[in-house]
Amino acid sequence: MLQVLGLTSAEQEIYEHLVRGSAMTSEEVDDSLGRGSDRGGRLDSARTLVRLHELGLVSRLPGEPVRWSARPPGAALEALIGAHVRALADASRHVAELDSRFNQVTHQEADELVEVVHGRDAILRRGAEAQRCAREQIRACDGPPYPAADPAALNDVEVDQLRQGIRYRILYDRRSLEVPGRLADLEAGIAAGEEARLTDIPVKMTLIDDTLAVLPLHQPADVESRLIVHEPVLVSALSALFEIYWARALPLRSGPGQPYPSAAGPSAAEARLLPLLVAGLTDQEIAGQLDISDRTIRSRMHALLDRLDAATRFQAGFQAVARGWLATDDLPAPDAGQRSGAALGPARSGVAGDPVGPDEAVDPPRGGGGTDVAG
């Protein structure tokens, strides 16, 4: 029982023996406990009595031979308990200090793996820095909502990086084409050398090589906070996710400046119309993208279906593939066309996407090349 106070079983036995009897010499203690013939036991008892005296549990009486008596348990043991309580309190404070130091070190290590960027200016600055750090490629998932402003400085970053041979691969959410003027904006980026495909993006993000990922800090995303991830496992997982969606996404164009494979291929107007048709946009949405009237788009759609000998949009898409107007690998996988309606991707300015509130305006089409995929 008294072991919790730091006593050994031998110390407890001798102390309790003295409590029950009168003062004794160490030899008398040994004799009464049956250790009289054991020289080693006698030496141990003598040392135990000295230890009990140091703990304040026994008193050494004057005179010879030396005799020992137990001190009152109420006072002696309470004093020992108090000493242990104080020691435990000191230990508890030390544990708290160690825990604080541990958390500081862990937090510092976490800061090396994950950054949190607050403030619009800081996001733009960090986004430009992130793009300039790329050595091979920049990949991004981009989709609305977009910020009200789209600084031209970030356009220059992408154009400069493209000129340096950095590959840009951007997955645009299908809802991007529902934003008036966005098609012209995307085509400008493609003309500058950007590779663009269309799908329902899983999350708004930007990947710088395989070393850094930029994501919104909150869901739904906001324009004032970004999460920059350096942790290799997380970046690798996000990279794999991007590649899965990239493989089944619909290219917005066969390739910058590349002709369609068939000599009797689509006209320039039809070439712009086909990706929008396959993407599932309505006539009204397509008209908005092409900046033509609803009546004109209906006329062009009717003419396209007639030329493809198709009665429905589905048949038109099938015929376009069959005639080589669209490559089969230009089409999304069967399940990729289902709109989730919940995609959050990196807006075309800032770091890891810059959505706006319901009352804010989306950014106007830039009319210049480049994609702001700083996040």
User: In this predicted model, what pLDDT tens digit does every residue of 50-79 receive, in sequence order?
Assistant: 988 888 888 989 888 889 998 888 888 888
Q: What is the mean pLDDT of each run of 10 residues along the chain (375 residues)?
A: 81 87 85 68 78 89 89 86 88 86 64 81 87 94 72 65 93 82 80 88 91 84 80 92 88 50 69 86 88 91 85 80 67 45 35 36 36 46
* Token pair for 152: 């031209």
Amino acid at the residue 351: V
Residue 320 CA to residue 264 CA, distance in Å, equals 12
The confidence score (pLDDT) of residue 41 equals 55
| Predicted local confidence at residue 175, as pLDDT | 82
Write down the pLDDT at residue 45.
83
Q: Please give the helix or strand (H or E) that residue 273 lies within, else none.
A: helix 268-278
Asked whether the beta carbons of 85 and 190 are under 8 A apart, the reply is no
Q: What is the pLDDT of residue 247?
A: 84
- pLDDT for residue 343: 33
Overall size of the chain counted in residues: 375
- What pLDDT, on a 0 to 100 scale, did the predictor assign at position 223? 67
Q: Where are the alpha helices (DSSP H) in 67-149?
A: 73-113, 120-132
List of domains in the chain: 2-74 (1.10.10.10), 119-249 (3.30.870.10), 268-331 (1.10.10.10)
CB 66 within 8 A of CB 26: yes
Predicted pLDDT at 331: 55
